[in-house]
Structure 1
Amino acid sequence: MSTTPYDLIGGETGIRRLVDKFYFYMDILPQAKGIRAMHAPNLASAKDKLFKFLSGWLGGPNLFIEEFGHPMLRARHFPFAIGEAERDQWMLCMNKALDEVTMDARLRENIRNALQQLATHMINQETTES
């Protein structure tokens, strides 16, 4: 039996903690106000979807796919103007959250790197040079 990142992060409890911390930082950090403004005032739906996505993405139950179908992340995020600044705001919140969830340092770095690549893939706006 192989151990998945889902198991190593603490299963459902660990992922819920990560998601709660992520949205906590999105709510309070002035540097994240751009991406916070893209979300509904009540973050319950966003929290639920991110939890379900991360569950399957990290090797646990495929809750998101079971409820919503294939994630199609770029298509689902296309209505939002996402540039490098928005990616960086998202990663700021996620990095702070990752630092607060107990896990092996190598696993944390692997998840951080994979999420950085995923967040970069969500960029749908050209970066303008000033």
Structure 2
Amino acid sequence: MMTDSDVAISMFERIGGSATIDRLVERFYERMDTLPEAKVIRAMHADDLGLIRDVLKRYLTEWTGGPRLYSVEKGHPRLRQRHIGFAIGDGERDAWLTCMRGAPEETVADAAARQDLDKALSGLADWMRNR
């Protein structure tokens, strides 16, 4: 017989679900738009961030263990392949992480979940380097 402690709680649930993902992505792109150290990655994006905001929300929802909102529409993420046209080195990774690290600090209340999310995002960002 399974007990509640046998069921793993997804990162999606730990950080607060869809509402938190929405706020996190909004803060991420606000930081990208305003932080001087984010200029290098902001320049890689379209002027209008509306579409990419929605894509990132769907991706992060699924990536953190929430509903499958990304792959049903876009297929396998293939993140490196989708980003191959962009030169992503240490500077770009660090700029992205600066924006992404600040967002959970402002949106995820659970410190342990925030730390685990940061570790996972750091690994993802490091893996995306192609230069």
TM-score for the superposition, normalised by structure 1: 0.93
| 2:43 corresponds to | 37
In the alignment, is residue 23 of structure 1 matched against residue 29 of structure 2?
yes
User: Quick check: 1:8–1:103 contact (8 Å CA) kept in 2?
Assistant: no
| 1:107 corresponds to | 113
| 2:20 corresponds to | 14
Q: Which amino acid aligns with 2:14?
A: L
| 1:128 corresponds to | none
In the alignment, is residue 93 of structure 1 matched against residue 99 of structure 2?
yes
Shift of 1:106: 1.1
Equivalent residues, number:
125
Identity of paired residues, percent? 47
Out of 63, 70, 81, the residue aligned to residue 87 of structure 2 is 81
Per-residue Cα deviation, 1:88-124 (whole angstroms, up to 9, x for no partner): 0000000110100133111111110111110011100
Shift of 1:2: 4.0
The 4+ residue runs of structure 1 with deviation greater than 4 A are none
Distance 1:19 1:37 in 2: 18
Structure 2: gaps of 5 or more residues = 1-6
Structure 1: gaps of 5 or more residues = 126-130
Shift of 1:70: 0.3
